[in-house]
Amino acid sequence: MAGAALAGKAELVFGMLLIVRHRTVRLTAALAVMGIALGIVGNAAERSGLAHQTVLLVGGSLGAVAGSRLLAPGAALAAAWRSGSPWWLPSAGRLMGAALLAAPAVGLTSAALVGPAMGWDAALQLGFVGWVYATAMTAVTLAASPFLGASASGALGLLAVWFGGIPPSAMYELLGGWTYLQRPIVLMWNVLPLGWRANRWLHQAAMEDALLLGGWIALGIVLGTWGAARAVLEQDHRSR
């Protein structure tokens, strides 16, 4: 038990280092700071919809880019496979490290944009929803990175964050002339942990939205672990 706890702590710290030492994550964080500054200057606090979208965009963008580094091919993937810890621990520990880094970023953004105008209870609620959403997006790109690589999974994650605020009904109308794309994309829009779902959870307190976001966190750990094992086995097979 003590060994598993120590291994989990090591994976948590390693996940944090993978994130903070990568320039793409630092660039995304700088852009997030600029977005927060623009929100403050533009009086986003007086427009709840804009403030909510900004918080979700900041949290989701940071989560998407951070998650793409946690099981990326190379040192991160090799270290997860050779750690000797329980099968789920590298993915779960690194995801927890990413979540701990996201918490102050999302919390401060929510406090700056929502707290002064709407109250600290509203800021706390928005911060919690934004943090769960950011963690779910981290889990999605963590699961995709062993298959797609860090750059592709991070880019797709950012696209999902930037366009994920569009509800499925609007996507259905938008793709009205593209029948072969309409159904699979709308289905994907209903399944993935996108911004529209986090926004609906925030406004309607729908339990199915909270369960789906939480389910993707658990699913990301499982898929990421399976993908990491599969990728390493393929590398070993090619090297022989």
Q: Residues 33-77: pLDDT tens digits?
A: 777 676 665 655 555 677 788 889 999 999 999 999 999 888 788
- For residue 68, give the 3-state DSSP assignment: helix
What does the pLDDT read at residue 157? 93
Residue-wise pLDDT tens digits, 78-88: 777 766 667 77
Give the pLDDT of residue 1: 57
Q: How many residues does the chain have?
A: 240
The model's pTM:
0.90
Where does residue 65 rank: exposed (0-12), middle (13-18), buried (19+ CB within 10 A)?
buried
pLDDT of residue 215: 96
> What's the CA gap between 193 and 56, in Å, rounded?
12
Indicate the DSSP class of residue 192. S
Which residue, 79, 228, 24, 232, is CA-closest to 143? 228
- Alpha-carbon span 148 to 151, nearest angstrom: 8
Q: What residue spans of the chain are helical by DSSP H?
A: 2-20, 23-41, 48-70, 75-81, 89-113, 115-118, 120-148, 150-163, 168-174, 179-191, 195-204, 207-239
Identify each DSSP E strand in the chain by its residue range: none
pLDDT recorded at residue 29 = 77
What tokens does 37 get?
């500054």
Given a contact cutoff of 8 angstroms between Cβ atoms, the answer to whether 65 and 158 are in contact is yes
Whole-number pLDDT of residue 51: 79
Domain parsing of the chain, residue ranges? 2-163+207-239
Q: Quote the pLDDT of residue 110.
A: 87
Q: Which residues of the chain have pLDDT under 70?
A: 1-4, 36, 38-48, 82-85, 232-240
Are the C-beta atoms of 154 and 188 separated by less than 8 Å? no
